[in-house]
Amino acid sequence: MLKRIPAIEMSGISKRFPGVSANDNINFKVYPGEIHALLGENGAGKSTLMSILAGLYRPDSGKIKIKGEAVKLRSPGNALEAGIGMIYQHFRLVSNFTIAENIILGTKNKKIGINKEQIESDIRSFSSSFGMEINPADKIYQLSLGEQQRVEILKMLYRGCEILIMDEPTTVLTPGEVKELFKILRTMAEQGKGVVLITHKLDEVMEIADYVTVLRSGKVVGDGQISELDKQSLTRMMVGRDIVHSQAEGKKQIGELILAVDNLNVKGVRGNRAVSNLSFNLYKGEILAIAGVAGNGQKELIEAIAGLREIESGSIEYEGEEIQHYNVKARAVLGIRTVPEDRIGMGLVPNISIMDNSILRSYLQDEFKKGFLLDYPKIKEYARQIISDYNIVCSDIHHPVNYLSGGNLQKLLLGREIDGNPRVLAAAYPVRGLDVAASEDVYNLFFHEREKGTAILLILEDLEDVFRIADRVAVMYQGSIKKILEVENTSIDEIGSIMLGAEVMGEQYAEV
Amino acid sequence: MDIIALTALLAASIAAGTAILFAAAGELLTERSGILNLGVEGMMLVGAVLGFIVTVNTGNHWLGVIGALVGGGIMAALHAVVTISLRANQVVSGLALTIFGTGLSGFLGKNYEGAPMLYQFKDLNIPVLQDIPVLGPIFFQHDIMVFLAMILAAGMWYVLYRTSWGITIRSVGENPQAADAAGINVARVRYFCTISGGMLAGLGGAYISLVYAPTWQQNMTAGRGWIAVALVIFALWNPTRAILGAYLFGGVEALTFRLQTMGIHISSFFLVMFPYIVTILVLVLVTIRRRQDAGAPEALGLSYDREER
């Protein structure tokens, strides 16, 4: 039998960033027709390794071979010529351009002028040959994230890529879209293309991949055929230990009504109606999760509750008092605390110190004041307290917060809000981008708060988390809450179909 | 005002707007690639003085034009190295180059102060077209540089919106990450656009010292570089609108002279302010009616570092 030649062979790859070794002597191979999962926690070095392959980063040492021949990839242009295309987590699309313009961007063109109609009809027929229906004249900003991802895939196919690398492709997709994507990837693999899937989601690996390579702290800690591995052993490789999922069992004491949102209408950034006729009740001592495809008004809802976004009509009642006209500070004083989606932009001030960030909400309180000056010794003590209470790893409280990792940022932010003794705690995507261990820490904070009787509203993206964490789940679609369900009485498939606008209960997706 | 005076005024507007149009077209190209060049005024002055000196010493105004292009290009190359390769702040670099260009041009032109320009571009009266009543004298009885500026700006529109080069240039200004991922050399495109833009600013300066006010005087561009920067915003980064805008601002300048000679008492300070007031009004309107695809290039003013995390 002939020995198969790998489409890609990376050997001895090392790459250091200031202070971290992102890749340490990594060997990695992909064969044609293979779906290869690159599994690891955040910061394990997956994206760095693939960015080297895509010509974005240059390795400090190591060799890359394509179809057995050594190559030097100095730029993404080189990599594309070599047939390697990478789709980043943040899509590399020009949002003011049409689909067609994005697809032909950077391709060599002999003619000076371009014939729009010709190109658009070419692209239309090209995309339908892969079973993707698009309108090439649409602008990127008009598309949903799932559609944008399809444009990225088409762009790579159009340029004749033999290896497609996708960085966390399912994060922005609905369960239905994920199935669509996997179908496309299967088709590509059948045509002999190699697919690399960067992910930290084990279930996806088990479902779609043929082969897996596991990275931890910049090193390869294991690899093998999926058929010969199970979730348990992969987790152990990925995390280095077994993860025990914590769950506060059985003692759910849902208390009395604390927050009632009634017929809320809120406008989005672009003047569209982001939240429309939305109503729900939140009770003391419960975790209510909001599930929905990103961009269905979740962000605007949280901002409206926080007081950051003006509402058009409707009411928000807190303990029987209408608070929709109160400003952010007044609501915070009442006990409504929110943790925004954008930690470093809205939650914390990136360039000021951990210490100063820890008192952003409370610096006006008497305990931190000394006349009209701030009482720094006391603030220092307070910041140290927060750091030890919430298990934040940092070298110095005087360092700017943007030196902290995502998990530590979130713990600082949550710690600060929880320390203000909230009665309603709302958080948007609290574990986005966090690894398994940090997510556990964050969820434990919420469990602890629930025990204290705080009402918790969480916007979550991972439906499995919803089932593990929440008591009730509200499904949001096009700005309103379609249905509120007890998590015991529903299923991922049911929620998934409501997220996509299905009115009928129990409608399910056919397994691919 | 009778029809003849009006025709003369409009023809003068076009002549007065030409220097601004060269500079604005250059700045527009530069900004389309994502680089903000606030050194236009300095580059115009260096172009004006070099154009003048070369022409006086060689007796050939085309060599003067080349001198101006080279002068503006070298200044812009400095801006490019500092902002593209070294990723320094574009505003600071641009302002520094304006101050530098003002001083340098004064220094180089010290011995030429007030000297007249003897070598003139002849009017290139376009046959047939120049005989159209009213329109002929307004549009078709000018020197070659005026036509060059029109063709250049129109050509720039074609290149930006109808060719793959244009898609490349605009993508670099909108989203350099995306352009880079598509295999485009972001730095090369930005160097090209910045240096070409500076050359055009130099050309605009030379138009003033060689044709429009044929002499050399320190600081003779008198803020036209800044008008060009404002005009790019006024034109919403579209070359065809820049043509109209340049002639509008040229018209305001021409009107300033006429009104004074006609004895109409509007403060000349007010008239000098006028183009800027218009710019501010346009900016306000643009911000109110903001459309996704008709505004500043998204990455304008931002340096691009591929390995930034």
Which tokens hold the place of A351? 């360039």
Pairwise pLDDT comparison (A181 vs A42), residue with the higher score? A181
Residue A482 and residue A502: Cα distance in Å, rounded? 9
Q: How far apart are CA A481 and CA A499, in angstroms?
A: 10
In contact, A302 and A428? CB cutoff 8 Å: yes
Nearest CA in chain A to B164: A114
pLDDT of residue A168: 87
Measured CA angle at B139 (ends B134, B141), to 5 deg: 95
Can you tell me the distance from the alpha carbon of B89 to that of B84, in angstroms, rounded to the nearest whole number? Answer: 10
Its domain, for residue B262, covers: 3-308
- Check residue B158 and give its pLDDT: 95
Q: How many CB atoms are located within 10 Å of the residue B263 CB?
A: 6
Residue with tokens 């003006």: A310
Which of A96, A119, A139, A154 should we substitute to test contact with B (largest number of B Cβ atoms within 10 Å)?
Answer: A96
Distance in Å, alpha carbon of B176 to nearest chain A alpha carbon: 9
Residues in A touching B298 (Cβ below 8 Å): 95-96
- Long-range CB contact pairs, B67-70, < 8 A, 24+: B67/B206, B68/B202, B68/B203, B68/B205, B68/B206, B69/B199, B69/B202, B69/B203, B70/B199, B70/B202
Q: What is the pLDDT of residues B85-133, one digit of tens each?
A: 999 999 999 999 999 999 999 999 999 998 988 887 888 888 888 888 8
Quick one: pLDDT at residue B105?
97
Task: Please name the member of B164, B180, B293 whose beta carbon is closest to the beta carbon of A96.
Answer: B293
The pLDDT of residue B47 is above 50: yes
Which chain A residue shows the shortest CA-CA distance from B306?
A56
* Spatial contact of A7 and A31, defined as CB atoms under 8 Å apart: yes
Q: What was the pLDDT predicted at B58?
A: 94
Instruction: Tell me the chain B residues in contact with residue A88 when contact means C-beta distances shorter than 8 Å.
Output: 181
Query: Residue B186: what pLDDT?
Result: 95
CATH number for position B62: 1.10.3470
Place of tokens 């295999």: B183
Collapse the DSSP code of A471 into the 3-class scheme (helix H, G, I; strand E, B; otherwise coil) and give the result: coil
**CA geometry: angle at B305 spanning A269 and B226, to 5°?**
70
Query: Counting beta carbons within 10 angstroms of the beta carbon of residue A249, is it exposed (0 to 12), middle (13 to 18) or buried (19 or more)?
Result: exposed
Distance separating alpha carbons of residues A453 and A253, to the nearest angstrom: 8
Cβ of B184 and A77 within 8 Å?
yes
Q: What is the pLDDT of residues A64-97, one digit of tens each?
A: 999 999 999 999 999 999 999 999 888 999 998 9
Classify B154 as helix, strand or coil: helix
The pTM (predicted TM-score) of the whole model is 0.78
- The two three-digit tokens of residue A131, written as one number: 């079973």
Beta strands A336-339 and A20-30 are unpaired
Residue B76 to residues A100, A280, A440, B301: CA-CA distances in angstroms?
33, 60, 54, 15
Q: Using the 8-state DSSP alphabet, how is residue B83 labeled?
A: I
Of the pLDDT bands very low, low, confident and very high (cuts 50, 70, 90), residue A351 is confident
Q: Residue B71: pLDDT above 90? A: yes
- CATH number for A8-239 (one of 3.40.50.1820, 3.40.47.10, 3.40.50.300, 3.30.70.2190): it is 3.40.50.300
**What single-letter DSSP state applies at residue B59?**
S
Give the distance from residue B248's alpha carbon to the nearest chain A alpha carbon, in angstroms.
29
A414 in Cβ contact with A428 (< 8 Å): no
Across B245-268, average pLDDT = 81
Tens-place pLDDT, residues A21-30: 789 999 999 9
Minimal Cα distance from B290: which residue of A? A270
Secondary structure (DSSP) of A260-291: EEEEEEEE-TTSSEEEEEEEEEEETT-EEEEE
Let me know: does A146 contact A172? Beta carbons within 8 Å.
yes
User: What mean pLDDT do residues A253-279 have?
Assistant: 87
Q: Do domains A8-239 and A256-335+422-512 have the same CATH topology?
A: yes
* A220 to chain B, closest Cα gap in Å: 22
Which residue would you say has higher pLDDT here, A149 or A203? A149
Which of B175, B182, B307 is facing A106, going by the closest CB pair? Answer: B182
Tracing tokens 């429009």 back to the chain, one arrives at: B212
- Compute the distance between CA of residue A263 and CA of residue A275 in angstroms, rounded to an integer: 9
End-to-end CA distance of chain A: 33
Identify the residue among B32, B158, B167 best suited for mutation to test binding to A, counting A beta carbons within 10 A and taking the highest. B167
Smallest CA–CA separation between B15 and chain A, in Å? 31
Q: Which of B164, B171, B292 sits opposite A114 (nearest CB)?
A: B164
Q: Which of A132-141, A265-274, B118-127, B189-198 has the highest mean pLDDT?
A: B189-198
pLDDT at A1: 43
Residue A395, pLDDT score:
78
Residue A249: pLDDT band (50, 70, 90) is low
Cα distance between residue A352 and residue B152, in whole Å: 49
Task: Name the 3-class secondary structure at A461.
Answer: coil
Q: Is A364 on the interface with B (CB under 8 A)?
A: no
Domain ranges of chain A: 8-239, 256-335+422-512, 353-420
Burial (Cβ within 10 Å: 0-12, 13-18, ≥19) of residue A144: middle
More confident residue, A257 or A439: A257
Of the listed ranges A5-9, A303-307, A462-466, B278-282, the one predicted with least confidence: B278-282
CA distance A283 to A258: 5
**Unique residue bearing structure tokens 């707007």:** B17
pLDDT given at position A3: 63
CA-nearest of B168, B156, B185 to A109 is B168
Q: Which residue has the higher pLDDT, A248 or A239?
A: A239
Number of folded domains in chain B?
1
Angle, helix A436-451 to helix A406-419, in steps of 10 degrees: 10
Interface check for B298 against chain A (CB to CB < 8 A): the answer is yes
CA–CA gap between residue A453 and residue A286 (Å, rounded)? 8
Work out how many CB contacts closer than 8 A connect A with B. 86
Q: How confident is the model at residue B287 (pLDDT cuts 50, 70, 90)?
A: low
CA distance A429 to A211: 30
The CATH label, of 3.40.50.300, 2.10.260.10, 3.40.50.620, 3.40.50.720, for the domain at A256-335+422-512 is 3.40.50.300
Whether B206 and B68 have beta carbons less than 8 Å apart is answered as yes
Q: What are A419-432's pLDDT values in tens digits?
A: 989 999 999 989 88
CA distance, residue B192 to nearest chain A CA (Å): 16
CA torsion A119-A124-A128-A134 (nearest 10°) is 130
Count the neighbouring beta carbons within 10 Å of the beta carbon of residue B36.
23
Task: List CB contacts (< 8 A) between A136 and chain B.
Answer: none
DSSP assignment, residue A226?
Answer: G
Average pLDDT over residues A452-476: 90
Assign A98 a pLDDT band (cuts: 50, 70, 90). very high
- Pairing relationship of beta strands A455-459 and A69-71 according to DSSP bridges: unpaired
* % of chain B at pLDDT higher than 70: 94
Q: What are the counts of helices (DSSP H) followed by strands (DSSP E) for chain A?
A: 16, 22
DSSP symbol at A227? G
How close is the nearest chain A Cα to the Cα of B227, in Å?
A: 27
Q: How many CB atoms lie within 10 A of CB B261?
A: 7
Helix axis angle for B224-234 and B3-32, nearest 10°, is 80
Q: Tell me the average pLDDT across A12-16.
A: 91
- Written as one letter, the residue type at A180 is E
**Hey, what are A489's tokens?**
């009485």
Give the amino acid at B30: T
Tell me: pLDDT of A510 over 80: no
- Look up residue A487 and give its amino acid: V
Nearest to B25 by CA among B194, B119, B186, B149: B149
